[in-house]
Amino acid sequence: MMALAGVAALAVTTPLAAPGAAQAHGAAQGTPPSTPTAYGYGGAVSTVDATATAAGLDVLRHGGNAVDAAVAAAAVLGVTEPFSAGIGGGGFFVYYDARRGTVSTIDGREAGPASMTEDTFIDPQTGEPYDFQEARVSGLSAGVPGTLATWDAAARRWGSRSLGALLMPAARVAQRGFTVDATFNQQVAGNRDAFGQFSSTSELYLPGGQPPAVGSVQRNPDLAATYRLIARRGADVFYRGAVGRDIAATVQHPPLAADPVGTWDYPIRPADLRLSDLAGYRVRYPAPTTSDFRGLTVHGMSTPSSGGTAVGEALNIIEQAGTPDSTVGVLHRYLEASALSFADRNRYVGDYTPQPVLKKLVSESWAAKRACQIDPGRALAKPVPPGDINASGCTPATAGAPVENGQSTTNLTVADRWGNVVEYTLTIEQIGGNAMVVPGRGFLLNNELTDFNFAPTQGDAPDPNLPGPGKRPRSSMSPTIVLKHGKPFLALGSPGGSTIITTVLQMLVDRVELGMSLPEAMAAPRASQRNTAGIVAEPAFHSRYGPALTALGHQFAEDTPELGAATAIEFGRHGAMIAAAEPVRRGSGAAAVVWPARR
């Protein structure tokens, strides 16, 4: 049966799919070139960056476990991928404990300050929502960071090394520097006018008023010192001490440049984030979302992420809708299920969504009510309405909502020799966050609070994603661990704003439904249907499948160069692993194993 063909066994002899040239971040330290796919045993690491992957692998080789390696790699990503992640942001951590056979999660999502209200993003002068960029590049957008608390909690609960020891590799990278690649240069260039408004950001990322040149060495001694301070004094120095005071001061009094680089069309607005907000921050440990798909058990992240429910619901709809006999039929069903699950996600999912509602959204009975709308020969008109959570039968509701379009984030996947697995997605939201480097500390603040809806989107119905004091904005991050017969089969995740959900979902469809190998699923062209009139697709997807899907009534929006930058590990017999990263997207990723297999 086609749906099960790709699950039968892990073939460690599968050829690499579309290998791409790497641009190693770590050349300043002699880091080996990144390889997008690795086969072997004893543990594995996959990230978007060769230096981070090398740091995680070194921890595994010296006896550390998957949590140790994940924290060390994430800390390095805060140096080499500072516009996507870092201690100024937040994320979601999913962990498989091999000894207990359980999946646990940490919600390290950023939280709104106590001063936040439903009207925070409404201009009091006009009564209208702020323009996105006006809200983003301001103190208003910065939530209380959760990343460091996540690392500390994970290391204490499941790690074998201290947080301080795990920060040291990243501190050395920040001090010694790394080689700037084209992606780093382009990300600074894309933020030049925003970064140029702040003295601390300009000093670090706009030397001479220009982005760091490709091939130059980027150093960040302030971040190195911050990591070392945390290593000595613990996370409290961040949440209750000197670093926290500097974060609050940056939000309350943005470090405006006396002589800005570039121009900015909006006033830089301060906000009232206080040290008490940081001191009150706590990570959460929600139960993972769980759904069954083709004999597999899929575990994801619960609220405030919508990733677990949206991926789980879509997979259930796909299974309920039957098994097409063609690739186009599978992709048609994937796109329709995506739109239906996004409609429900927008209507019902937010930080405070009740557990009974979340469980219903990932139930087989709910999927049956949604799958009955899919016509194998004709696409639904988009946007589709959400389902009525209280109704029976194949009856849609009437209210809808747009999707948020966050661009940045990073993801990593780690497994160790004992069978423990970490899937971790972390972010500062937009590429470059809110554009403010905390003076003297070397890290950017997030703009995560712009993931709230600025104004009500549900008509007369309650909107689950409006701002509020202490509330965490809805996310699309979808770190996912898939079990087969109770053991890890596949762990995967991706950056990409709201397209994270569709990237993870499509990779599962490609791997499980279409029987692709993991490297093939990683390299396959992608499309994203988030309940919008037009499908956003990579050019290769559009050219390959567009005509047949258009004939079914699907519409395509303007193509996008790339969707996602995934990482994944697949698990086979006798401890065999395939670690996979992107061969091309975002300059290619880096995968490695402790003991490479002979090929």
Which residues does the annotation mark as catalytic? 409
Q: Are 454 and 135 in contact (CB under 8 A)?
A: yes
For 107, residues 6+ apart whose C-beta sits below 8 A from its C-beta are: 92, 146, 283, 284, 285, 286, 301, 302, 304, 305, 472
Count CA within 13 A, CB hemisphere, residue 12: 19
Continuous segment of H or E residues that includes residue 504:
helix 499-508
Gap between the Cα atoms of 170 and 147, Å rounded: 15
DSSP track, 145-208? P-HHHHHHHHHHHH-SS-HHHHHHHHHHHHHH-EE--HHHHHHHHHTHHHHTTBHHHHHHH-GG
Angle at 311 between CA 529 and CA 460, to 5 degrees: 70
Helix (H) or strand (E) holding 108: strand 102-108
Beta bridge partners of residue 412, listed in sequence order: 424
Cα dist from 87 to 81, 305, 422, 450, whole Å: 12, 19, 19, 18
Dihedral Cα 95, 403, 327, 519, nearest 10 deg? -40
If DSSP states are collapsed to H, E and C, what string results for 542-574?
HHHHHHHHHHCCCCECCCCCCCCCCEEEEECHH
Rounded Cα–Cα distance for residues 67 and 102 (Å): 15
Helix count (H) and strand count (E) of the chain? 20, 16
- DSSP codes, 35-69: -SEEEEEEEEEEES-HHHHHHHHHHHHTT--HHHH
Give me the half-sphere count of Cα atoms (radius 13 Å) on the Cβ side of residue 365: 9
- Short-list 170, 472, 46, 439, CA closest to 301: 472
CB contact set of 551 (below 8 Å; sequence gap of 6+): none
441, 88 contact by CB (below 8 A):
no
Residue 307: its H or E element: helix 307-320
Task: State the chain's maximal CA–CA distance in angstroms.
Answer: 67
In 3D space, the residue among 282, 153, 167 whose CA is nearest the CA of residue 233 turns out to be 167
Q: How many whole angstroms separate alpha carbon 281 and alpha carbon 260? A: 34
Q: What is the CA radius of gyration of the chain?
A: 22
Secondary structure E strands in 309-468: 410-416, 421-427
